Amino acid sequence: MGSSPTDDEQPSPPPDPPPSDETAGSTAPGGFTAPPRSGLPPRWVGGGRTLSKFDGLGLAARLARLAVVVFLLVGAVVVAAVTVSGVGPPSQDDLRRQAGLLDKRQLLIGVKDDQPGMSLLENGVYRGFDVEIAYLVAASLGFTPDDVRLLTIESEDRARRQALDVKTKKIVTVDLVVATFSITAAREADPDVTFSAPYLRTEQSVLTRKKSGKPYEALSDLAGQTVCTLNTTTSKQNLEAAGVNPVGKNKISECVRGLREKRYDAVSTDAAILAGFVFQDPEAFTIHDIGAEGSELYGINVGTNEALKTLVDLALYRSYTEPTDRRWETAYDTYLRREQPAAMPQQVAVAKQPDVEKPSVRIWPWQEQQQ
């Protein structure tokens, strides 16, 4: 019969079960064994770690950061290449530098002073459609209204851009001419003239006294009569071709005054100009739709400054294409649309800005043209 244990002798506890894969510790650097961590997936234990979905997110983030670095490096290379090689069209800053605008404090613009609705000087202030177009372009060039100086220019001086500065009593050369200046092949052949894209479309018309009682449906109906018009204009050439006796003046207001005083039988020039006088005094004058062929397209003369022409075209292009830019439409509604009822059936001007081709201007270094 075996002996039973004494009080001092306790039974040995059963041996611990061998550690499982989930609870076994791992040997850390330095030779000691790290305590086992329970609850971990088997792939994390004993150095047998594999990737989980969370590791995939980390990898994606690292790849995204790498992609950004590569993109920036490629962009830097492109910028450097364009800067060094000069490939592609000029930027706006390049054009401003070429046009001589960077250090320019005041922009001089020649406009008319006696054309109601288009450009009229009253109480020292110019108002009209042409004036609004001048400010629209000036803003795009970087000039505020306070930085713009409007000067009166006569028809025969528009090609040479010579205007009178009434303050100094001197003739000065203006930067831009926005003065109902029609684009023609003969004018474009003039070395002193470089036109922008067109900004208004109208046509030739005839103004008479309302009580004349004579209907005019063509320029040939005026044959043998004395008709006043502006010197060096397309209207004068058309009158001569129709057998009319034209009298040329430097200001259209001189013609209208002579018509009122019965020194002339009629006045002929563009409808956009004549409609303003009918709007001012509908009881004295009437306008006739003579069915003129073709259109008169007004452009801005920048002289020989090609860089300035591109910048002006860019201003007109943005006005034409950007839905939120309503300055052209506002100018038309304010000054020309209101004249239409009194001018019927003659159309004052087309109530839509003429098409403007996209100018070649680089906005971003890698672009080939303005977007």
Among residues 162, 260, 165, 245, the alpha carbon closest in space to that of 209 is found at: 260
Calculate the dihedral angle through the C-alpha atoms of 133, 338, 340, 317, rounding to the nearest 10 degrees.
Answer: 20
User: Residue 28 corresponds to which tokens in the numbers above?
Assistant: 């850390």
Q: Does domain 92-199+297-340 have CATH number 3.30.450.20?
A: no
**Best mean pLDDT range from 16-30, 129-143, 200-214, 241-255:** 129-143
Specify the higher pLDDT residue, 235 or 21: 235
In single-letter form, the type of residue at position 111 comes to V
What number is the average pLDDT over the span 217-246?
87
Q: What is the pLDDT of residue 5?
A: 47
Instruction: Report the helix count and the strand count for the chain, using DSSP H and E.
Output: 10, 15
Question: How far apart are the C-alpha atoms of 153 and 314, rounded to whole Å?
Answer: 25
Whether the predicted pLDDT of 288 surpasses 90: yes
Q: What is the pLDDT of residue 71?
A: 72
Q: Percent of the chain scored above 70 by pLDDT? A: 77
The string of DSSP letters for 208-230 reads EEGGG-----SGGGGTTSEEEEE
Residue 194 is classified by DSSP as -
Residue 362: CB partners within 8 Å, gap ≥ 6? 88, 89, 90, 91, 94, 368, 369, 370
Q: Which tens digit of pLDDT belongs to each residue from 193-215?
A: 999 999 999 999 999 999 877 78
Instruction: Return the CATH number of 204-294, one of 3.20.20.140, 3.40.190.10, 3.30.365.10, 3.40.1390.20.
Output: 3.40.190.10
Report residue 271's pLDDT band, with 50, 70 and 90 as the boundaries: very high
Question: How far apart are the C-alpha atoms of 330 and 332, rounded to whole Å?
Answer: 5
End-to-end Cα separation, the chain, in angstroms = 107
- pTM for this one? 0.75
Strand pairing partners for 247?
228
